Amino acid sequence: MLLGKTDDKRFVLGYDLGEKVSQISYLGSDADMPETLSVLAGAELYNIPTVLCKRKDVNQWYFGKEAVRHIDDGDAVPVYGLVSAARDGKPVAVGDAEYDPIALLTLFIKRSLSLLTMEFKLDKVEAIMFTTKSLDHRMVQVLNAVTAALELKTDKVFYQSHEESLFNYMLYQPQDLMQHVIIACDYDHEDLTLYEMTLNHNTTPIVATINVESDDGLKLGPDGFPKDAVMYHKTCERLDDAFLNIMQKMCNGKMVSTIFLLGDGFKEKWTNRSLEFLCRTRRVFQGNNLFSKGATIAARERIRPSECSEKYVYLGEDKLKANIGMNLLKCGNEAYQAILDAGVNWYEAKAQLDVYADPSGIIELQITPLTGKSPANVQFALEGLENRPKGTSRLHMIFTMNSVNEVNIRVQDMGFGELFPGTNKIWEETIEL
């Protein structure tokens, strides 16, 4: 949608936070596809080294490529492993001082976001999606602490895994790439991470699942590719043979339509035999900014869902895999009330509503899995609920999730105004999905 005034143009961001390198992509409100921020104008240099350094004997900090330059010059103390340090939560020694790891990671992200001012003002940002390789409960805590400290101009801040960023990236791709299995290979000279995305076209919406595996068979030494021409050639042949073997096993017996080769590990031209095999009846793409672009698309879909979001749903490890609701009387007719929808991240799943209690004091929920299991009804009793006339016991219900498989329900007796004052008694129930 092209807006009338340039000043009205807004942006969403996708921030790929990596242990070694990070990237930032953005999508304007007048654009269809994201762009990735280059650290050098006119070049496609997307990687921002996830590193800080502090000048020796001076309280001066640098980040990214400038930090690498000062470290190489030997005039600064390096701080690597910012993400791991934040996860561990232990103070980080830099020279003779110790620093809070959350503060260090916050400093890096704040400085890297400032690079965007070359493109637009940060107050034009509507939403930000952070994506990481591993998004467990601890990583969510870290990101919550970091984003709170950043004091961002928007409150629309979200998180998701690389798997989900792959899914979101595919939403904006041509439909012929979404017909069969999609494979993404992410290689950084050490680990090869394999993402296998499958789509169940027999469900409505179409359910996407992603399986993730790691392989260290392509691991190089700390110096990367050898400088010697003979050793370089032998290393390329070894990688090519190993990768070909991995992909032959992965593609065996499957209809694979699309393959992505991601990461700096594929920049060298060593995939000769592998590519010959992969390109047979398959579309193969190479790049290294898929996850940040996918996160950007996800940010837009969160604030302005498109038809793509209605057609597909991603069920990952972090996702609620069932619809949760209940039947209620509305205007004398029984109607289904949706409460929690399948496909949301469990740590973001939250709902509340007011209902009038059934005289029996029984709460009944409908659990409808999207994984093929049969729907189920779950009941629990509100022991000690005051016996009042029908329609005079208002209950306030809050739904949250303790984990991907546990729903916590909190019910409070609100009564019915002055006629039947509420007791404010609270019941809590946890149901397993």
Q: Which two tokens stand for residue 141?
A: 């805590």
Please report whether residue 212 resides in a domain.
Answer: yes
Do the Cβ atoms of 5 and 124 come closer than 8 Å?
A: no
User: Quick check: 2 pLDDT over 50?
Assistant: no
Q: Which two tokens stand for residue 54?
A: 């502090």
CATH code for the domain in which residue 104 is found: 3.30.420.40
Q: Specify whether 81 is located in the same domain as 125.
A: yes
Q: pLDDT tens digit string along 370-417?
A: 776 788 899 888 888 888 877 778 889 999 998 888 999 999 988 887
Confidence (pLDDT) at 20: 94
Q: Specify whether 242 is located in the same domain as 271.
A: yes
Confidence (pLDDT) at 128: 97
Q: Which two tokens stand for residue 52?
A: 């800080």
Domain tally, the chain: 3
Q: Specify whether 328 is located in the same domain as 374.
A: yes
Q: Specify whether 153 is located in the same domain as 31.
A: yes
CA torsion angle for 417, 418, 420, 426 (degrees, to 10)? 60
Range of the domain at 59: 6-161
Please report whether residue 47 resides in a domain.
Answer: yes
Q: pLDDT tens digit string along 298-354?
A: 999 999 999 888 889 888 888 888 999 998 887 778 889 899 988 888 888 999 999
* Residue 250 identity: M
Reported for 305-308, long-range contacts at CB under 8 A and 24+ positions apart, including other chains, are 306/171, 308/171, 308/172
Q: Specify whether 270 is located in the same domain as 355.
A: no
Q: Specify whether 334 is located in the same domain as 283.
A: no
Confidence (pLDDT) at 4: 43
Q: pLDDT tens digit string along 211-242?
A: 999 999 999 877 788 889 999 999 999 999 99
Q: How far apart, in whole angstroms, are the C-alpha atoms of residue 75 and residue 69?
A: 9
345 or 48, greater pLDDT: 48
Percentage of the chain modeled with pLDDT above 70: 97
Please report whether residue 304 resides in a domain.
Answer: no
Closest Cα partner for 314 from 174, 430, 193, 164? 164
Confidence (pLDDT) at 390: 78
Q: How far apart, in whole angstroms, are the C-alpha atoms of residue 162 and residue 333?
A: 44
pTM of the full predicted structure? Answer: 0.83
Please report whether residue 22 resides in a domain.
Answer: yes
Q: Which of 125-139, 382-396, 411-425 has the highest mean pLDDT?
A: 125-139
Q: Specify whether 85 is located in the same domain as 152.
A: yes
User: Quick check: 1 pLDDT over 50?
Assistant: no
Q: How far apart, in whole angstroms, are the C-alpha atoms of residue 46 and residue 288?
A: 8
Q: Specify whether 179 is located in the same domain as 223.
A: yes
> What average pLDDT does this structure show over 244-251?
96
Phi, psi of 277 (to 5 degrees): -70, -45
Q: How far apart, in whole angstroms, are the C-alpha atoms of residue 128 and residue 120?
A: 15
- Beta strand ranges found along 82-240 (DSSP E): 92-94, 97-99, 125-132, 157-161, 181-187, 192-200, 206-215
Do the Cβ atoms of 309 and 171 come closer than 8 Å?
A: yes
Confidence (pLDDT) at 7: 63
To the nearest 10 degrees (0 to 180), the angle between helices 64-73 and 101-113 is 110
Q: pLDDT tens digit string along 87-112?
A: 999 999 998 899 999 999 999 999 99
Please report whether residue 315 resides in a domain.
Answer: no
Q: Which residues, 6+ apart, have CB-to-CB distance to 419 below 8 Å?
A: 392
Q: Any idea what DSSP says for residue 346?
A: G
8 or 428, greater pLDDT: 428
Confidence (pLDDT) at 392: 76
Please state the length of the chain: 433
Do the Cβ atoms of 51 and 78 come closer than 8 Å?
A: yes
Please report whether residue 338 resides in a domain.
Answer: yes
Average pLDDT value for the chain: 90
Q: How far apart, in whole angstroms, are the C-alpha atoms of residue 330 and residue 175?
A: 40
Pairing of the two strands 394-403 and 420-421: unpaired
Confidence (pLDDT) at 424: 84
Q: Specify whether 276 is located in the same domain as 230.
A: yes
Please report whether residue 305 resides in a domain.
Answer: no
Please report whether residue 301 resides in a domain.
Answer: no
